[in-house]
Structure 1
C-alpha cells in the first residue's frame, strides 16, 4: 500500500463503508429497464419496450462520414509534461510503458502514475514514476470475486466494498499529486500539460478540469456507447428491442451503476481537494462523453474495426506492442525448450485465484491426455506451488512474453488485451479462460476470428473442456487463422498511431508560446487587454532581465471543461435546481447528526478524550454552516440561474439557434454576460415578434406565418424573461465562482509552476535564447 500521506485528501465520509444499492429500475411509455448485480458480480441488464422503433429513433444519429485523420508530425507539437494515469495489473501498465517510451522519443517528459508495486517496472523503462497507492493484488482478488466490477453479495457481506472505496479515495489523492508534485527521485519540478488515462483511474477529467489542461482517454476495451456490441461488463436480455439499440443503451446503464457506487467518493474529493463543484448525478455517469474527451482504443482494427457510430474524436489505433526486452533465458528453461517439440504455454499473470491447486491439476491432467508438453507460469497465484519441473512440465517464475511466445505452440491465458495481442502477433492460437473485465470480450473476438476455441469461463474449466480446447488450438485451421491475423497486425503501428492520435486531440493553438513558438506555454500575461502566452523559458529570461515580475502572470489554462448543468427549459431547470438545493440541504442536515458522532468517536479512539467534545462541536458548526450555504446558494444562484438559462434555451426546443453570450468564470465575466444577455434578450424578443412571422411567411407561406407568429409570441415572453432573471443570476454565479477561486488546488498549481520557472531563472543567460526572447517580447 502507499506510504503517501492522505492528510490533504478529501474529508472523511461517514458513509465510506456503506454499500450503495447497486440496483436500478426504470419504467416509461417507451422503454423500461432494470439492472442488478448477480451472485457472481456480473451486471444483469434487462430492456423491454412496447415500441422498439421509437427507441431506435431516439438514439443519436450516425455520423454522416468518417474523416480520415491527418497525421500530425511531432515537430509541430512542443515538448510537454505528460502524466499517464493507470489503474490495474501489470498487463494494464505494460502497454502504457510502450506508449510512454514512444512519447519520450518525441521529446516529451513522461511520468506514469500507478500502483507503488510497479515502480521498478516503470523506472527500468526510463520513465518517471509516481505512486498513487492502491494494492493491485487486493484489486485483482476483488475483481476475480466480482467479474463485472459491481460487487457480488459475498463482497457486500465481507466488507470488500468499503475497502475498495477507501482504495479509490487514496488513489484519487495520489493521481492529483502526480499532476503537480516534483519527481520523488530527482526533485525536478513537474506540472502536467496534458493527461493520458485509462477510464478506471477515475481522476482523469477532474484533474484536467482543475488544471485547465487537455485529457485523452486510452483503453483496451470499449468504453464508448455503440450499436455494434454491448458493454463488455453487461450481461443483457432484451424483449422486443433491436439488439443495436440494446447494445447502445447498455453503456449508459453500466456507467450509471459505476457512478452510483463511486460518485459520492469522487464528488467529496473534487470539493475538498480540487476546490471544484460537485458533478450532478445526471451528468456524472456520462461526463467524459458529454465533454467529448478524445479517445484512443488500443486494439487491432484487424480484430475489431471502429464502429460506424463513433465520431472523429475516437480512434482505433492497434495494440501497444513494446520492443522486445533484452532477455537471457536461464539454463533450465533453455534445456526444456530444446528437449522436445514446442510446448503449450499456460499463465494467468496477475489474477489472484481462490483455488490455484484445482486449476493446476486441471492443466496437468488435460496436457497429459493431449500428450503435449507445457510451460506453466506461476503468476501471482503461484500455480503449481513448489512442484519441481519434469520432462513434460516446466514451472516459470517470470519471462517476457515477447521472447517466450515465439517459442511455444499455443497459449492459454486469462484474456488480458496485452497478452492476447502478444500471442496473436506471434501467430499463436489462443485459448482464453476469462475471469472479469474485458477478458470475455477478447475471448469472443479471438474465437470469432477462428484463432482459438470458444472461451471457457474460469469457474467452468474442467479437464474435458480444456482437452477439447487444446485439440482445437493445435489444429491446422487455428494455426492458419492465427497466421492471417498476425500478418495483418504486423502492418499496424499501434503505438505510433496512438501518439499521432494524442497530438491530433490537443488544442495546440492555445498551448503554444507566442514568444518561443517551439515551446509549450504555461503562463498568460494580460496587460492593457493584450494577452500573451509564455513558456517557462521565456518567463525565466524576462524575469532575469527584469522585464516582468512573476506576479504579473497567471497560470495558463489551455483547455476548459464546462460541467454546469444544461437547463433546457424553465420547468425542468427550476425543478432540477430545487431538487439539488433540497439534496444539498438534506446532506448537510444529516451531517449535523452524523459527523459530530463520527469525530467524537475518532478523537476518543485516538486516546484524546478531552478533545472529543470539542471536535464534535466543531462538526456541528460545520454542519450548520453547510446548511446555510446550501440555502443561500440555492436561493441566490441556482434558482435564478435555472430560470434564466431555462427561459433562454426555450427556442432550442423548436430548432432556433440561441445566442452565445460568453462563459461566466468570475465576477467580471458574470457582469458582462448579464449585460449581453439583457440587451440581446429584450431586443430579440421584441423584434422577433415582428420578424418571425414575416420570415415564416416568406419561407412557407400561410403555414410558415402561423409558425412564425407562435415562435415570436413565445419569444416575446421567454427572451425578456431570461434577460430579467439573468441580471441577478449571472453576476451571482460570477461572484460565487470568484469566492471559490484561489483556494486549494489553484495555490498548489501556482506553487509548482513557480518552482519550474525558478529552476530556469538562474540559468537563463547561459542556456536560454535571451536575444530572441527580448526581441519578440519588445514587439508584443
Structure 2
C-alpha cells in the first residue's frame, strides 16, 4: 500500500524536468523541407534567464537560447546556408538501395588491416560486428577494439579482438549523469569524476595500442591501414594522424550539425524565430561541452604518442574541419539524409547481423501457438530503481487491454509468475523473437528500434536517456507508434492507452510501410561501399603486389615506388641494405593546426595560450609533484597487489621444492625495492621539469605562436570584405617553411600593390560605377593586410618549419614504434605466405622495371 500511495503521489506531482513531450521533429518525409521547431514545455524549469543550459538526469541538455552566453556562442558558428539557398530535398526511392550514392558499386581489391574502435554497450558493439563480418568478405583483416567484457562476443563472430579497457556499464551510468563531463558537486566529492576520466585515458591508450600492437592472444603482428570508429571512442582522429592513415566515423545517432533537427541529446527552449539556426547550433554546443570536459585528458594522451596539443576552439570541430567521412547506420525510410549534409556524409541503413542460431524452449513454442501473436515488452540493459512497480504497471495495462505479452527480464529483472497470457523470457535474439510478435514496447535503443521496424511492428518507445527520445519521436511521426511514454510518467492507464494505439490497423499499416521501404536496404553492404569510396585508392595500393596496401616508399629511379609490408621484406631478403632506404608512406597525411579567423582573434588566442602555458609551468611546480606523487602511490599499490600474487605462487613452489620460505621472501623484497623508484623523488623531478619548461614555452609563444597567428590572421582577413585569399601551401618542415615564407612575402607584395588597380576593375564589372568605390576600398585594405601578412610570414613560416623538423627529429619514438611493428608484420607475412622462387623473381623484375 505504501508503494501504491507513493506511486499515486508521484503521478499527481508535476515533473520538474523537461520531458520528451516537447514538439518533436517533423515526420521523416518532411525532415529535409522543414526544421525542428520545439515549443516550450510548460514543465521546464529554467533557473534564470541567464542560465545557458541545464544537464538533466537522463543525459540530455536543456539549452536556453535567450541566455547571453548562448547568444554570444552562436556568433562564433555559422548556421548554414540561407533557407532560400538550400537545394530541393532528395527523394527517397524504395527501388534503389539505401546506400549513400547513386554511383555503381566499385570493387575493392586492396586487402587492408582495419581496426574498428567502439566505446559503448553491447548494443553499440553489435552493429560493428556485422560490419566487420562484411569487411572480411571483401578480404580485409578486421580487428574490433572495444571493452574487455565483449571479448568472447567479438571472437565468437570470427573477428580479431583487442581490449581497450573501460567498464561500459560504469561509463554509461556516469555519462547519463554527466554527459559533458561537467559533474555535479556530489560527483566531484565522491571521486567519481577522477575515476571516469582515468577510464577515458585508459581507453584512449587502448585504442592507440589496438592500431599498432600484436594480438594479445596469439602474438600475430598488426598495424592498421585504416580506422573505423564510433565518435565516443574519441581516439580515432588522433590515431589516424599519428599513423597517416584514413579514418571513417560510423554511428547509430545524428552527430553532425544540421538545420533539419537538433542534436538528439539537446532540448531547445526559448527559441524565437530561426529554429533551423538553433538546431544547427545545438550540435556545436554539445561538441563544445564534450571537448571542454575531455580536452586535457585527450591532450595528455596525445603528448604520450608525441602529437602536439589541440586548443579549446579547434577540438570540437575536428571532424568538420578535416572533412572526416561519416556513415550513419539508420534507415533513410525513417530519417533520410538532411540536404545540408556534405557529400562525404552518408545514410546507409540499419546494420543487421546474420540471424544467430537459436533453439527456442518448448514452452515458448507452446505459448506462441496457443493464441494470437503477443506484444513484446522489454527494456534491455536498463536498470530500474523499482522493478516490482514497473512490472505491476505492465501487467495491469496488459490485463486491461486484453492482449498477450512476452516480457523480457533484462537487466531490470522483470520476473513474475507465468500465466496463460504472459510469458517471461530470458536472453533471446530479437531477430528470431520479433518475427512472432504483433507489436513491441521497448526503451528505444537504435538496434532494438531497427529490428522492430524491419519486422513491420508497431512500436512504443519508453525512453530513459540519451538518443532514445529522438527515435521515439521519429517513430511517432511516421505513424508507426504513439508518442514516446517516459517511464516516470508511465501509469497502467497511460501504458494501456499506448498499447491500444499499437493495435490499431492504421498503426500496423504505417509500420509495414516502413518495413517495405527497408526491404531493399542493405545497410552493412552500403556502409562498406561508402567506406571504400572514401579511401584514397591510388595512394594505398602497392606498386608491386596490387592487393596489398603500401606502407613504404623507395626512391629508385624517376619516381618513388610504393611498397607493402610483404613486398618490402621480400626485397630486403635479397638486398639487405634496402631497409635503410625505406621511407614511411602515409596514405592520408594531415596535421591539426590552429584555425585563425582574423589577426585580432588569432593573435589574441595565441597570446592567451602562451600566458596559460607560462602560468601552467609556474603552478605546475606545486601541482605536478602532487599529481605525480599520487599516481606513483597508486601504481605502487597496484604493483604490491601484483607482487603479492606472484609471491604466493613462488612461496608455493618453494614449499614444493623444500626451499626456505624466508630466503624466497628476502629475494622478493630485495627485487621489489630495486625495481621501484621513489615516489618522492619522482615528485621532486616533476616540479623541476615544470620549471624547466617555463623558458621554452615563453620563447615558443612570443617568437613562433604569436607571429604565426598574426600572419595567418592577416592573410585570411581579405575574406571578410569579399576579396580572394591565395593558398601559399602548408608548412610540414624546414624546407616547406622557407618556401611558404618566400611565397607569402612575394605574393603579399604583388597582390597588395596590384589590388589597387585590379579590385576597382573587378567590382566595376560586377556593380558598375558603385563598384569603383568598393573596389578601391578593398584595394586599400589589401595594400595593408597582404604585404603585412607576407612580411610577418616571411619570418614566422620558416621558424614554424624549423620547429616542426626539430620536433620530428626529437619526438620520433612513436614513429619508430610504427616502423618496427610494420617490419615485424612484413616478416610474419613472409613466413605465413610461403612464396615460390618464381614469385620472388617476378616481384624483383617488376621492381627493377619500375625503378628504371
Q: After TM superposition, give the deviation of residue 475 of structure 1 in Å.
A: 2.1
| Separation (CA, whole Å) in 2 of partners of 1:158 and 1:760 | 50
Residue 315 of structure 1 corresponds to: 346
Pick closer, same or farther for the CA change 1:682–1:242 going to 2, 3 Å: closer
Measure how far apart 1:502 and its partner are.
0.9
1:167 deviates by 1.7
Which residue among 479, 499, 502 is the counterpart of 1:473? 502
**Equivalent position SS for 1:415:** coil
Distance 1:40 1:298, change over 3 A: closer
Which residue of 705, 711, 715 corresponds with 1:638? 705
Once residues 709 and 327 of structure 2 are traced to their aligned partners in structure 1, the CA distance between those partners, rounded to angstroms, is: 36
Is residue 592 of structure 1 aligned with residue 610 of structure 2? no
Alignment check: 8 A CA contact 1:542 1:548 kept = no
Q: Which moved more, 1:286-295 or 1:673-682?
A: 673-682
1:570 has 2:599 as partner: yes
Partner of 1:626: 693
User: Cα offset for 1:535?
Assistant: 1.6
**1:374-523, aligned counterparts within 5 Å?**
374-384=405-415, 387=416, 389-523=418-552
Q: Alpha carbons of 1:769 and 1:662: their partners in 2 closer, same or farther (altered >3 Å)?
A: farther
Partner of 1:15: none
The equivalent position to 1:719 in structure 2, one of 786, 793, 811, is: 786
Distance (Å, rounded) in 2 between the aligned partners of 1:404 and 1:35: 41
CA distance in 2, matches of 1:286, 1:296: 17
Q: How far apart, CA to CA, are the structure 2 residues paired with 1:405 and 1:391? A: 20
Structure 2: runs of 5 or more not aligned: 1-45, 91-99, 638-672
The partner residue of 1:210 within 236, 242, 247 is 242
TM-score, with structure 1 as normaliser: 0.89
Q: Shift in Å at residue 518 of structure 1?
A: 3.5
Q: Which residue of 2 aligns with 1:543?
A: 572
Deviation at 1:25?
A: 13
1:504 Cα deviation from its structure 2 partner: 1.5
Further displaced range: 548-557 or 494-503: 548-557
Alignment CA distance shift 1:371-1:253 (3 Å): same
Q: Identify the residue that residue 10 of structure 1 maps to in structure 2.
A: none
CA separation in 2, counterparts of 1:236 and 1:100?
37
How far apart, CA to CA, are the structure 1 residues paired with 2:48 and 2:791?
38
Asked if the contact 2:57/2:176 (under 8 Å) is kept, the reply is no
Residues 646 and 529 of structure 1, relative CA distance in 2, 3 Å threshold: farther
Relative distance call for 1:761 and 1:485 in structure 2 (3 A) is: closer
Give the 3-state SS of the residue equivalent to 1:218 in structure 2. strand
Could you tell me which residue of structure 1 aligns to residue 585 of structure 2? 556
Please state how far the C-alpha of 1:33 moved relative to its aligned partner: 8.4
In structure 1, the residue matched to 2:836 is: 766
**1:137 and 2:195 aligned:** no
Q: In the aligned structure 2, how far is the partner of 1:72 from the partner of 1:113?
A: 31
Is this contact kept in 1: 2:179–2:290, CA < 8 A? no
Contact persistence 2:214–2:222 (CA under 8 A)? yes
Structure 1 residues 761 and 106: CA distance shift in structure 2, 3 A: closer
Residues 1:120 and 2:152 are matched in the alignment: yes
- Cα pair 1:43 1:148 within 8 Å, conserved: no
Q: 1:42 aligns with which of 48, 54, 60?
A: 60
> Could you tell me which residue of structure 1 aligns to residue 727 of structure 2?
660
Distance (whole Å) between structure 2 residues aligned to residue 148 and residue 373 of structure 1? 42
* Partner SS state of residue 750, structure 1: helix
Deviations 1:443-463 (A, max 9, x none): 111111121121111222222
Corresponding residue for residue 252 of structure 2: 220
Question: Is the contact between residue 275 and residue 740 of structure 1 (CA under 8 Å) also seen in structure 2?
Answer: no
Change (3 A) 1:352 1:555: farther
In the alignment, the residues of structure 2 paired with residue 153 and residue 126 of structure 1 have an alpha-carbon distance, to the nearest angstrom, of: 45
* Conserved 8 A contact 1:141-1:352: no
The answer for the alignment partner of 1:278 in structure 2 is 309
- Alpha-carbon separation, structure 1, partners of 2:517 and 2:837: 47
SS in 2 for 1:228: coil
**SS of corresponding position for 1:48:** coil
Q: TM-score normalised to the size of structure 2?
A: 0.82
Q: 1:697 to 1:337 in 2, by over 3 A?
A: closer
117, 130, 133: which is aligned to 1:98? Answer: 130
For 1:99 and 1:435, the matched residues in 2 are separated by 27
The Cα of 1:64 is off from its aligned counterpart by 5.0
- Root mean square deviation, CA, Å: 3.0
- Structure 2 residue aligned with 1:525, among 546, 554, 559? 554
Q: Distance in 1 between matches of 2:215 and 2:191?
A: 35
Find 1:755's aligned residue among 824, 832, 847. 824
Q: Which piece of structure 1 moves more, 545-554 or 295-304? A: 545-554
Moved more, 406-415 or 38-47: 38-47
After superposing the two structures, state which structure 1 stretch, 549-558 or 40-49, moved more.
Answer: 40-49
Number of aligned residue pairs: give it. Answer: 749
Mapped partners of 1:432, 1:738: distance in 2: 56
Superimposed CA distance per residue, residues 115-173 of structure 1 (whole angstroms, 9 cap, x where no aligned partner): 11111111111111111111122233335556788656664554433332222111111
Preserved CA contact (<8 Å) 1:544 1:761: no
Note the C-alpha offset of 1:768. 8.5
Q: Which whole-Å CA distance do the structure 1 matches of 2:849 and 2:138 have between them? A: 31
1:60 aligns with 2:91: no
- In the TM superposition, residue 744 of structure 1 has moved relative to its aligned partner by 3.6
Residues 729 and 474 (structure 1), Cα distance of their counterparts in 2 relative to 1, 3 Å cut:
same
- Once the 2 structures are TM-superposed, how far is the Cα of residue 705 of structure 1 from its aligned partner? 4.0
Structure 1 residue 266 displacement after superposition:
1.2
Query: In 1, are the aligned partners of 2:711 and 2:789 still within 8 Å (CA)?
Result: yes
**What secondary structure sits across from 1:179 in the alignment?**
helix
Which residue is 1:177 aligned to?
209
Change (3 A) 1:26 1:113: farther
CA contact 1:367–1:374 (8 Å) conserved in 2: yes
Query: What's 2:322 paired with?
Result: 291
Q: Does structure 2 conserve the Cα–Cα contact (< 8 Å) formed by 1:540 and 1:764?
A: no
**1: distance between equivalents of 2:199 and 2:76?**
39
Equivalence for 2:381? 350
**Secondary structure in 1 aligned to 2:381?**
coil
- In structure 2, the partner of 1:21 is none
Question: C-alpha displacement at 1:404, in angstroms?
Answer: 0.6
| CA displacement, residues 484-512 of structure 1 (integer Å, 9 cap, x when unaligned) | 11111112111111111111111222222
Q: Contact conserved, 2:569 with 2:823, CA < 8 A, in 1?
A: no
- Whether contact under 8 Å (1:319, 1:421) holds in the other structure is yes
Aligned mates of 2:495, 2:447 — CA distance in 1: 22
* CA distance in 2 between partners of 1:767 and 1:568 (Å): 59
Superposition deviation, residue 237 in structure 1: 0.9
**Which stretch shows the higher mean deviation, 153-162 or 299-308?**
153-162
**Could you say which structure has the larger radius of gyration?**
2
Instruction: Supply the distance in 2 between the matched residues of 1:33 and 1:554 (Cα, whole angstroms).
Output: 55
Structure 1 residue 230: deviation in Å? 0.9
Name which of structure 1's ranges 56-65 and 291-300 shifts more when overlaid on structure 2: 56-65
Q: How does 1:140-289 map to 2 (within 5 A)?
A: 140-143=172-175, 145=177, 151=183, 155=187, 158-272=190-304, 274-289=305-320
Query: What displacement does 1:221 show?
Result: 0.9
Shift of the 141–568 alpha-carbon distance from structure 1 to 2, 3 Å rule, reads closer
Other-structure match for 2:656: none
Q: 1:566 & 1:43 partners in 2: Cα distance?
A: 28
Q: Tell me: CA distance 1:633–1:65, structure 2 relative to 1, closer, same or farther (3 Å).
A: farther
- CA separation of 1:622/1:241 partners in 2, compared to 1, >3 Å: closer, same or farther? farther
Partner Cα separation in structure 2 for residue 157 and residue 119 of structure 1: 34
